Amino acid sequence: MSESNPKSPLIKSKLPDFKQSVKLKYVKLGYHYLITHAMFLFLSPLVAIIAVHLSAFSLQDLHDLWHHLRYNLVSVIICSALLVFLLTLYFLTCARPVYLVDFSCYKPEDARKCTRQMFMDRSSSTGTFTEGSLEFQRKILERSGLGESTYLPEAVLRVPPNPSMAEARKEAEAVMFGAIDELLEKTKVKPKDIGILIVNCSLFNPTPSLSAMVINHYKLRGNVLSFNLGGMGCSAGLISIDLANDLLQVHPNSYALVISMENITLNWYFGNDKSMLLSNCLFRMGGAAILLSNRRSDKRRSKYQLVHTVRTNKGADDKCFSCVTQKEDSTGSVGVSLSKDLMAVAGDALKTNITTLGPLVLPMSEQLLFFATLVARKLLKMKVKPYIPDFKLAFEHFCIHAGGRAVLDELEKNLQLTDWHMEPSRMTLYRFGNTSSSSLWFELAYTEAKGRVRKGHRLWQIAFGSGFKCNSAVWKALRKVNPTNEKNPWIDEIDQFPVDVPKFSAI
C-alpha cells in the first residue's frame, strides 16, 4: 500500500459472498470425485441382496446347492471365475483405510510467553521501526483477536533480538522434538517403526533438512521415506496429510509421522513496510506431530479415520500467486508481504474448495436443493436466490485455520456457522495466535479437551495458504475421546475457556 494514502485499507477485510457466484465446473469436479467411488455404490446393493438371500438359506438349501455344483463343472467354473473377478476388482479399487492414531501439539515453556504490551516494548527497543510502524502494529494487535499468552522464540524476545541460523535451529528442534516426544509417549510407537516421515515448514529450510534433523535425532531406520515440504504456507499441514495418505496406499503395514510447524526466528521482519508488518503481529510459535497408520490392527486404538482430502490450487492465476510473497522491501529487509487482494483471493479459493467438497459430504436433501437452484440459475436463467448448503448437517465439528480474526468472521457468516462451531478456531487464535499449518491441530485439541468428540462424529479441517491454496480434510471419529485421559496443551486451562474476545482491546 502506498504511504501517501494511509486511509485506504491494507487488506480488504471481506470475503466475496459465496451466494453470488458458484461456478458449475467446481460442482462438476465434486461429483467427479464422487463418481470415482461409483463402483462401491453399485456393488453395495448387490452385496446387500446376496446377503439377504444367503441369510434365508437353511442347511438343507446349502447342502442341495453344494450337491448341484459338485456335479456341474460349468457352474463351478463360472461361479469361481466370477468370485475371483469380483474379489480382484475390489482389492484393486479399494483404498486402504488410513487411521489417525493420535497427535500432539507443542506448548512452549512459560518463559516464551509474550503479552501484547511486551510485543510492543520489544518492537520499540529494536530501534528499527518508525513511530508510524509501531502505531500500525499496535492497531493491528488491538483488533487481532490475540490474547496475552501467545509465544515467541527466545531470539525474538531477547533484547536486542538475535535472529541467527543457530537460534532458528534451536527453535525448530524445540518445536519438532517436543511434539514428537509427547506423541511417541502417547502412542508407545518406537521410532524404528516409522516408515514415512513428512515435515512441512514454509519459511525455514536449512541444510541438512528438517526431516533429516528428525531422522538423526531419533535414529530412524535407513529405508524411511522422508519428505521436507517448504514454501507452501499455512495449508501445508493438510498437503502433508494428503501426501501421507497417498503413500500409505502403496506401503502396507506402515506408520507415517507428519510434523507441521513454522519458524519465527529468521522470519521476523525489521522493516517498515506495513504489508510485511502484519505477519509479525499475527504469527506465533507452535507446531504439531501427527501419527497415521494403515494397519487394520490400529483401528481400535486410533482416534479418527481419514475420509476425504480435497485440494484446491489457484497458483495459475497471477493475482492469486502473488498475494502472499516473501521478498525484500525498499531497504533490503526481507519479509512476507500480504496483498490487499488477499481476502478476495482466499474467498475464491475457499469457495472452489467448498463447492468441490459438497457432493462428497452433504446429505442428499441438501445436494438436491443446491443442484436444483444451480440448474435454475445457470441453465434456465431463472432469477432465483442461490441456495447455500447447510454444512452443519454434514459435520459436527469445524477446524478452520486461525489465520486472523477477519477471515474467521467472514467464514462464520458465509457458512452460517454458530459461535459454538467457531469456538475452537477463535480460542486458538486468542491463546496461541496464528501458528501456521499447526493451528488446525490446536483447534482439534481444544475440541477434545472440551469433551465434545463422540464416536461417529465428523470433523472438517480447512486451511489456506500462499500459492494460493485451499485444502480440506474430513475425519470420522472412531471412538469417544475422554478428556480426562488426554494430554494436550489445553487440558490444564480448558476450564478458563471460552472467553469473550472483544472486537477492540486497547493495549
Which of these ranges, 190-194, 255-259, 407-411, has the smallest mean pLDDT? 407-411
Which of these ranges, 154-163, 269-278, 383-392, has the smallest mean pLDDT? 383-392
Q: What are 472's three cell numbers? A: 480440506
Neighbouring C-beta atoms of residue 314, cutoff 10 Å: 20
Task: Read off the pLDDT of residues 442-474 as tens digits, 9 standing for 90 and up.
Answer: 999 999 999 999 999 999 999 999 989 999 999
Confidence of residue 4 (pLDDT cuts 50, 70, 90): very low
Q: What are 77's three cell numbers? A: 467354473
The span from the CA of 449 to the CA of 447, in Å, is 6
Q: At how many degrees (to 10) do helices 364-378 and 342-361 cross?
A: 120
The helix/strand/coil state of 171 is helix
- Assess contact for 100 and 302: CB atoms under 8 A: yes
Q: For the chain, give the percent of residues with pLDDT over 70.
A: 83
Task: Read off the pLDDT of residues 410-443 as tens digits, 9 standing for 90 and up.
Answer: 889 888 899 999 999 999 999 999 999 999 999 9
**Which run of H or of E encompasses 327?**
strand 324-328
Neighbouring C-beta atoms of residue 59, cutoff 10 Å: 7
Amino acid at 206: P
- Strand partners of residue 199: 228, 259
- Assess contact for 205 and 434: CB atoms under 8 A: no
**Which run of H or of E encompasses 33?**
helix 24-35
- The per-residue pLDDT of the chain, averaged, comes to 88
The span from the CA of 83 to the CA of 64, in Å, is 20
| Confidence at residue 3, expressed as pLDDT on a 0 to 100 scale | 38
| Residue, of 72 and 207, whose pLDDT is higher | 207
The span from the CA of 253 to the CA of 293, in Å, is 7
pLDDT at 11 over 70: no
Q: What are 46's three cell numbers? A: 448387490
Task: Read off the pLDDT of residues 359-395 as tens digits, 9 standing for 90 and up.
Answer: 889 888 887 887 787 778 777 778 777 667 789 999 9
Strand positions, DSSP E, 161-224: 194-200
CA atoms within 13 Å, Cβ hemisphere of 66: 7
| Confidence at residue 6, expressed as pLDDT on a 0 to 100 scale | 41
The helix/strand/coil state of 255 is strand
Dihedral sign computed on CA atoms, order 464, 466, 468, 473: negative
DSSP state at residue 73: H
Q: Name the nearest CA neighbour of 310 among 349, 339, 256.
A: 349
The span from the CA of 201 to the CA of 266, in Å, is 12
User: What DSSP string describes 267-313?
Assistant: G---S--HHHHHHHHHB---EEEEEEE--GGGTTT-SEEEEEEEEEE
- Report how far apart the first and last C-alpha atoms of the chain are (Å, whole number): 25
pLDDT at 148 over 80: yes
The span from the CA of 471 to the CA of 115, in Å, is 32
Q: According to DSSP H, which parts of 332-457 are helical? A: 342-361, 364-378, 405-414, 419-432, 439-449
pLDDT at 56 over 80: no
pLDDT at 44 over 60: no
The span from the CA of 11 to the CA of 344, in Å, is 9
| Confidence at residue 367, expressed as pLDDT on a 0 to 100 scale | 79
| Residue, of 13 and 297, whose pLDDT is higher | 297
pTM, entire model:
0.86
pLDDT at 311 over 60: yes
Mean pLDDT of 243-259: 97
- Assess contact for 229 and 258: CB atoms under 8 A: no
Q: What are 238's three cell numbers? A: 493438510
CA atoms within 13 Å, Cβ hemisphere of 12: 12
CA distances 23 to 15, 87, 346, 360, 386, Å, are: 16, 39, 16, 17, 12
